[in-house]
Structure 1
Amino acid sequence: RRADLERVDAGQALVRLLPWATGEAVRFEELAPERLEVPSGSRVRVDYGGEQPVLAVKLQELFGLRESPRVAGGRVPVLVHLLSPAGRPAAVTADLASFWRDGYRSVRAELRGRYPKHPWPEDPSAAEPTRHTTARLRRG
């Protein structure tokens, strides 16, 4: 049944098909990791369903990350969907350095008033990443 197929983890199924003796399964996880760790410490799932791998993550969790994540041994940039604190797309980029330099100001201006309890630093590439609101950060 279709419901049964939807429960199958295709990534795990592929790993099981790889020859363990040659270490190919480990290499598969290195080249196409299921999750990437972001600067906040979260491990976020990568979506490989399109032309380019996609990482959908809240913008504040990437503070301090100067370059876009890459997979396939550093050859393929990940398309980053930067989410608002509510989890809605705020921006999409494959060039995080350029976004911090050029696009962040307008996203910050638009979202800062809507989400005042979240940090919106002037220089996000040098800021501390977080999963939390500024109120929670102050409490420790």
Structure 2
Amino acid sequence: MKRLIFFSNTILKDLALLILRAGAGLMMATHGWAKLSNFSSNLQNFADPIGLGPAVSLQLVIFAEFFCALFLAIGFLTRVSLVPLIIAMLVAAFVAHAGDPFGDKELSLMYLTVFVSLFLLGPGGYSLDAQIRRKSRY
């Protein structure tokens, strides 16, 4: 009996990467947008976990959580965009929430897991990176 294959493994992998990349990127962008749209009030009580000052720390977090997250969602400069996101989640989990219970670190660790996985796997075929690669071959 033949097994019917509706989609190739490549199509399913690319679709899974699109869903994971777009979902994580857009959800993270909401965190960055909240910080960006309330910059002044966030600046008053934003932590300085790595000693650069609250203003620089907040700007770096906004860059990662909003701009890099949007790049991730569309698959543009994916691996480069993931580096600031990974660093931000490492700092959030292990510096900013170092003494907090696991429940307070859980979200940043979840994002960290997704971001590291995407870094290792790449953007997939349904991304701007893949489109740019295809066009550069011609």
Q: Structure 2 length normalisation: TM-score?
A: 0.32
- Which one has more relative contact order, counting CA pairs under 8 Å at least 6 apart? 2
Which structure carries more helix by proportion? 2
Which structure carries more strand by proportion? 1
Q: Structure 1 length normalisation: TM-score?
A: 0.32
